Amino acid sequence: MKPSTLLTFTFAFLVFTPWQVLAYTSSAQPNILVIISDDAGYSDFSFSGEANFNTPNIDSISQKGVHFPQGYVSASVCSPSRAGLMTGRNQQRFGYFDNLPRKVPEIYSPEYAGLPASEITLAEALQQQGYQTAAIGKWHLGYGEKFHPNVQGFDYFYGIESGSRSYWPNKKGLGPAQENMTTVKDEGYFTDTLTDKAINYLNKQGEQPFFMYLSYTAPHTPLHAKPEHLAMFADIQDKKRRALAAMTYSLDQNIGRVLKNLNDKGIDKNTLIFFLNDNGGTESNSAGNRPLTGYKGTVLEGGLRVPYAVSWPAQIKAGQVVNMPASSLDIFATAVAAAGGELAKDREYDGINLLPVMTGKSAAVERTLFWKRHGYAAVRQGDFKLIRLSDRPALLFNVNEDAGEHINLAEKHPDKVKAMLKALWQWERKHQHAKWQTKKNFNNEYIEKLDRAFKQVSQ
């Protein structure tokens, strides 16, 4: 090709090729979007379970990227799970064992009831890489200015500090909505409102990359669904289950609105998206966890394994299913690496960068994951998971082959039980003491519910 011809071709390519294509092939920092649902069941999204509900928009994230069927969170209840995600560190390292107390008892200092300022949040890490940052939805990492998203690395916040509230305006809830640090008037159905705020934020973005933490409250209780959506699921006899279906439909539709906005702007290909739930499905909203046993609050798979999908069309091949354990703790390391940053050297991180696996540059990684809540703890090493109980011998399962934890292998592998108990003890030595404990820790009815779940797999 003659130099003049090459120059003409290059000029025509730059003028007539949509900038979206250039963005797809460039090494520009990706936008980063973390979408998290609340208290949903493992099998209540059609990409992750038994297709109980049809969720085409959420499914599209896995279809355009990677589905991790063995996705985990770092805790089986909302607040500590979010603390792990936001820091990339097992939250027990900084004494964050349980949900926040709604009112801090006098024996605890209020300064302890939230995510410590000494922790580096994902928002703070990405700000260092030049990102604009936004948190929209449920925060649940501390109340008051000391723990507010605006002082934890987020330039913009719209949502609630508490763990749940009414989906309808002007109804009694656990906390009013805020825009940054100002209380604002409720606007419409809460799932819709959060999406409106997210899209409004996206519409104001320029060329600077953004990180958005889009934390929906759906389908956490209260079970408030739109009447027109309830009518769509009239064939479901269980009233709670019907409301859950309607709320999940609304959640999927709203996530679809966000994804369409990214596509309309031509920035979808260079946006790294994570979708997951904050913990296992709960009995209180009739969530479905099949084929897993257990539910929110336990260290059984039904409390810890969650729907987990990642997409980044510019870098990640579509349609992958990676059958290795992935953790919510990995979001921090993966996002920072994608942004071109490095993890802080002054602390240990428990998550890993998933990009080498998702881009095919590395094989699946064998790893160790830990969990602890109340008198129960668990460790997964490779395919095996050990559960240490407070009042009976430890349980051992091959959760790659037996996700429902039905076959106790402890007597068959006593050496493995001993080694994994030792690993668990060594992990616990790194913990700080719990900064607070909620009344629910000592509620006999709650402990009995946990016991029943464990007896299902130990009989």
- pLDDT > 90 fraction of the chain, expressed in percent and rounded: 72
If asked whether residues 348 and 386 sit together in one domain, one would say no
- What pLDDT is recorded for position 7? 36
- What pLDDT is recorded for position 457? 62
- What pLDDT is recorded for position 170? 64
Q: Tokens in use for 211?
A: 């990180």
Res 174 pLDDT > 60: no
Res 136 pLDDT > 90: yes
- Average pLDDT rounded to a whole number, residues 255-269: 97
Res 206 pLDDT > 70: yes
If asked whether residues 117 and 40 sit together in one domain, one would say yes
**Which among 170, 263, 256, 264 has a CA at the least distance from the CA of 214?**
256
- What pLDDT is recorded for position 305? 97
If asked whether residues 300 and 334 sit together in one domain, one would say yes
- Average pLDDT rounded to a whole number, residues 113-131: 95
Q: For 321-373, write each residue's pLDDT tens digit.
A: 999 999 999 999 999 999 999 999 999 999 999 999 999 999 888 999 999 98
Residues 6 or more apart whose Cβ sits within 8 Å of residue 248: 40, 44, 45, 53, 55, 218, 219
**Which among 219, 293, 296 has a CA at the least distance from the CA of 44?**
219
Q: Are 380 and 369 in contact (CB under 8 A)?
A: yes
Domain-located, residue 421: yes
Q: Which residues pair with 66 in a beta bridge?
A: 310, 320
Domain-located, residue 1: no
For 305, other C-beta atoms within 10 Å of its C-beta total: 26
Q: Tokens in use for 11?
A: 């000029």
Ranges of H-type helices in 138-238: 190-203, 227-232
How far is the C-alpha of 156 from the C-alpha of 31, rounded, in Å?
16
The residue with tokens 């520009």 is 28
Average pLDDT score over the chain: 88
The single-letter code of the amino acid at 401 is: E
Q: Tokens in use for 265?
A: 């702007």
Q: Tokens in use for 287?
A: 């969530």
- Domain of residue 325 covers 29-362
**Number of structural domains the chain divides into:** 2
- Average pLDDT rounded to a whole number, residues 252-281: 97
Rank 41-45, 107-111, 142-146 by mean pLDDT and report only the highest.
41-45
The residue with tokens 């539709």 is 253
The 10 Å CB-count burial string (b at 16+, else e) for 99-130 is: bbbeebeeeeebeebbbbeebbbbbbbbbebe
If asked whether residues 432 and 346 sit together in one domain, one would say no
Of 334, 362, 390, which residue constitutes the final position of a domain?
A: 362
- What pLDDT is recorded for position 171? 64
- Strand ordering across the sheet containing 320-321: 182-183, 178-179, 156-160, 132-138, 210-215, 31-37, 271-277, 308-311, 66-67, 320-321
Domain-located, residue 17: no
Q: Select the more confidently predicted residue: 1 or 225.
A: 225
- Average pLDDT rounded to a whole number, residues 63-79: 97
CATH code, 338: 3.40.720.10
24-28, 112-116, 243-247, 320-324: the lowest-pLDDT one: 24-28
If asked whether residues 352 and 385 sit together in one domain, one would say no
249-263, 332-346, 427-441: the lowest-pLDDT one: 427-441
Of 333, 362, 391, which residue constitutes the final position of a domain?
A: 362
Domain-located, residue 431: yes
Domain-located, residue 12: no
Q: Tokens in use for 312?
A: 């980044």
- Average pLDDT rounded to a whole number, residues 172-197: 88
Q: Taking the CA atoms of the chain, what radius of gyration do you get in angstroms? A: 22
If asked whether residues 376 and 353 sit together in one domain, one would say no
89-103, 120-134, 201-215, 233-247: the lowest-pLDDT one: 89-103
Domain-located, residue 125: yes
Q: For 50-59, write each residue's pLDDT tens digit.
A: 666 899 999 9
- Average pLDDT rounded to a whole number, residues 44-72: 91
If asked whether residues 323 and 398 sit together in one domain, one would say no
Domain-located, residue 3: no
If asked whether residues 378 and 357 sit together in one domain, one would say no
If asked whether residues 102 and 233 sit together in one domain, one would say yes
CATH code, 420: 3.30.1120.10
Domain-located, residue 14: no
Q: Select the more confidently predicted residue: 450 or 53.
A: 53
Res 434 pLDDT > 90: no
For 9, other C-beta atoms within 10 Å of its C-beta total: 11
Res 163 pLDDT > 50: yes
How far is the C-alpha of 67 from the C-alpha of 38, rounded, in Å?
19
If asked whether residues 426 and 447 sit together in one domain, one would say yes
If asked whether residues 423 and 444 sit together in one domain, one would say yes
Q: Select the more confidently predicted residue: 383 or 163.
A: 383
- DSSP-derived secondary structure for 349-366: ------HHHHTTSS----
For 160, other C-beta atoms within 10 Å of its C-beta total: 22
Q: Where does the pLDDT of residue 113 fall: very low under 50, low under 70, confident under 90, or very high at 90 and above?
A: confident
- pLDDT > 70 fraction of the chain, expressed in percent and rounded: 85
φ and ψ of 306, to 5 deg = -135, 160
φ and ψ of 134, to 5 deg = -140, 135
What Å distances lie between residue 201 and 137, 156, 274, CA to CA? 13, 9, 18
- DSSP-derived secondary structure for 296-353: TTSSSHHHHEE-EEEE-TTTS-TTEE--S-EETTHHHHHHHHHTT----TTS------
Res 15 pLDDT > 70: no
If asked whether residues 304 and 393 sit together in one domain, one would say no
Of 328, 362, 396, which residue constitutes the final position of a domain?
A: 362
- What pLDDT is recorded for position 172? 61
CA 155 to chain centre: 21
How far is the C-alpha of 35 from the C-alpha of 38, rounded, in Å?
10
How far is the C-alpha of 427 from the C-alpha of 423, rounded, in Å?
6
